[in-house]
Amino acid sequence: MPDESKQIHVIGIDTSSVESFFEAKKKSIFKAERIFGPQRILDSFKTWLKDKNIKNHKFEFIATDKLNNFMDQLKKEEKKTIVFSGGDPLWFGIGRLLVQNFPLSKLFFEPASTSFQLAFSRLGKPWQNTQWISLHGRDPLPFEKAIKKIPSSLVVLTDSKRGGAKEVYQLLHSLGLEGKYEFWYFERLGYKNERIIEINSIEDFPTNIDPLHLVILFKKEEPLTQSKDLPLFGIIDSVFLQNADCPGLITKREVRVQLLAELNLPKQGVIWDIGSGVGSIGLEALRISPKLKLVSIDKRVGSKNIIEENARRLGVNASLIIEDEALNIFKQNKITSNLLHPDRVIIGGGGSNSHLILEEVLKLIDSTCIIVIPLISLKSISKLESILKPKVHNLSISQHQSYRGVSIGEDIRLSPINPVFILKGEIK
């Protein structure tokens, strides 16, 4: 219920049903002496008054399109005031400015659906995981940074004066990313003349773009590469299904190739991939040595399904995939006897229990074995080295650093991949 003691009642309007909105709010509205709002909403309200033949109430109307003038007018007199706002006034709306200029004791906010909520509803798409960015009065650099992270969806609140829909598309093109996204243009959402267009080229843009618009980018689902078309090893990261809540959490291709080289894979035997993540290292090992038996272990919830899907994509089969803490697996004897004594072991993840896992692994090795441990922390090296040293021959430590080229306009800069330390030991 509106707080009638507040001087300024800020009402968000869902423009999809303006007439019914005014009807539902008329009790609050008619207690006001003056009404502020964007000119388009004031015009709609005046039309509604005319249609309803309401003549016995005189309002002072002031458009909020010119913010400075509006704020000066609002401060002049303490009159009962309604401020209309599209959507949620506190989400890139007039609410921020009001909070800066008036004490909360004078303000009451009543939000409605935002423009981007309406946009998602029109397409029937969920929006809980979407990202957003505003270009209102802002340089386009934040947009460049946001889009290079390849989000699944990105709402762009455009600024017709410096960062409108066309400018967003051109920037996407200059970054070489237009093929990665569906580009949707939304104009005058909720009004009778709203327009929704999927734009595939600069020629698709309407000639008469309304300032009241926004853009939503949806990442395109890339067609899966057939396993027969994949290289033997060095498979690009995008082929692998990854965790939706932490995209990019995968052993990068450059590091993966080095780890596979360090493992010196035999033609047959058993390989354990502990802390396997999405399964990239172990599954790629199976492409190199198809007769290997792979035990893939990861504690993350949902990892088993992801590894199974990645095995399908690569055209290989893991012998055993376990979704659990590695230490629990050893304590509960979850590894079957035919897979219990590994010929190759890789321990990833870099967790605080790595040294305990290594100790358990060493207890189960009864023949020739190579152990490879990728690390990103210097602190872990000495502890793991001290455990390995008495047990192995040819203990080695190496550090690996790679860079990837990133386009900047017409130029390219090198972006570093996190350095990785590789600890390796051979048991004979």
Say if residue 283 is exposed, middle or buried (CB neighbours under 10 Å; 0-12, 13-18, 19+): buried
Residue spans of the domains in the chain: they are 8-113, 117-219, 227-427
Q: Identify the pLDDT of residue 18.
A: 63
Model confidence at 94, in pLDDT bands (50, 70, 90)? confident
Where is average pLDDT lowest: 140-149, 259-268, 325-334?
140-149
Q: Identify the pLDDT of residue 15.
A: 60
Q: What is the mean pLDDT of residues 358-382?
A: 90
Model confidence at 260, in pLDDT bands (50, 70, 90)? very high
Q: Identify the pLDDT of residue 274.
A: 95
Q: Is residue 58 pLDDT above 90, yes or no?
A: no
Strands (E), 325-381: 344-347, 369-375
CATH topology assigned to domain 227-427: Rossmann fold (3.40.50)
Model confidence at 163, in pLDDT bands (50, 70, 90)? low
Task: Write out the CATH class of domain 8-113.
Answer: alpha beta
pLDDT tens string 101-155 = 888 888 889 888 888 888 898 999 888 888 888 876 666 677 777 777 778 888 8
Model confidence at 222, in pLDDT bands (50, 70, 90)? low
Q: How many CA atoms lie within 13 Å of 355's alpha carbon, on the beta-carbon side? A: 11
Q: What is the mean pLDDT of residues 342-359?
A: 88
CATH topology assigned to domain 117-219: 3.30.950
Q: Identify the pLDDT of residue 261.
A: 95
Contact 41, 84 (CB under 8 A): yes
Q: Residue 190, by phi and psi: left (phi above 0), alpha (psi -120 to 50) or beta?
A: left
Of 67-71, 156-160, 190-194, 219-223, the range with the highest mean pLDDT is 190-194
Q: What is the mean pLDDT of residues 88-111?
A: 86
Pairing of strands 268-274, 213-219: unpaired
User: How many whole angstroms separate alpha carbon 149 and alpha carbon 167?
Assistant: 19
Helix-, strand-, coil-residue percentages of the chain, each rounded to 5: 35, 25, 40
Q: What is the mean pLDDT of residues 187-201?
A: 85
Helix axes 18-29, 39-51, angle to 10 degrees: 80
Q: Is residue 161 pLDDT above 90, yes or no?
A: no
**How confident is the prediction for the chain on average, in pLDDT?**
84
Q: Identify the pLDDT of residue 137.
A: 62
User: How many whole angstroms separate alpha carbon 191 and alpha carbon 211?
Assistant: 14
Contact 158, 135 (CB under 8 A): yes
User: How many whole angstroms separate alpha carbon 309 and alpha carbon 305?
Assistant: 6
Q: Identify the pLDDT of residue 160.
A: 65
Where is average pLDDT lowest: 21-30, 95-104, 294-303?
21-30
pTM over 0.85: no
Q: Identify the pLDDT of residue 380.
A: 84
Counts of helices then strands in the chain (DSSP H, E): 13, 17
What percent of the chain is modeled with pLDDT above 90?
A: 29
Torsion angle of C-alpha atoms 235, 236, 241, 245, degrees rounded to 10: 140
Q: Is residue 64 pLDDT above 90, yes or no?
A: no
Per the model's pLDDT, the better-predicted residue between 19 and 31 turns out to be: 31
Same fold, 117-219 and 227-427: no
Q: Is residue 181 pLDDT above 90, yes or no?
A: no
Helix (H/G/I), strand (E/B), else coil: 305? helix
Per the model's pLDDT, the better-predicted residue between 222 and 44 turns out to be: 44
Pairing of strands 153-157, 181-187: unpaired
Per the model's pLDDT, the better-predicted residue between 66 and 297 turns out to be: 297
